[in-house]
Amino acid sequence: MGFVDDLPLPPYVTREDVVFALRAVTVHAPERPNGARCRKDGAAHPCRLHRWGRRVLEKRGLTDEQVQRLIAGGTVALP
Ligand SMILES: [Zn+2]
Q: What is the number of domains present in the chain?
A: 1
pLDDT tier at 3 (50, 70, 90 boundaries)?
A: low
Residue whose C-alpha is closest to residue 49's, from 1, 78, 8: 8
CA–centroid distance, 68 to ligand 1, in Å, is 18
Is residue 8 in a domain?
Answer: no
Task: Determine, yes or no, domain membership for 53.
Answer: yes
Task: For residue 74, report the distance from its CA to the centre of ligand 1, in Å.
Answer: 23
Residue 44: give the domain boundaries: 15-71
Of 22-26, 36-40, 46-50, 75-79, minimum mean pLDDT range? 75-79
Confidence of residue 19 (pLDDT cuts 50, 70, 90): very high
SS3 labels along 7-45? CCCCCCCCHHHHHHHHHHHHHCCECCCCCCEECCCCCEC
Please say whether the beta carbons of 25 and 34 come within 8 A.
no
pLDDT in tens, 32-74: 988 999 999 999 999 999 999 999 999 999 999 999 999 888 9
Residue 5 lies in a domain: no
Residue with the larger pLDDT of the pair 6 and 70:
70
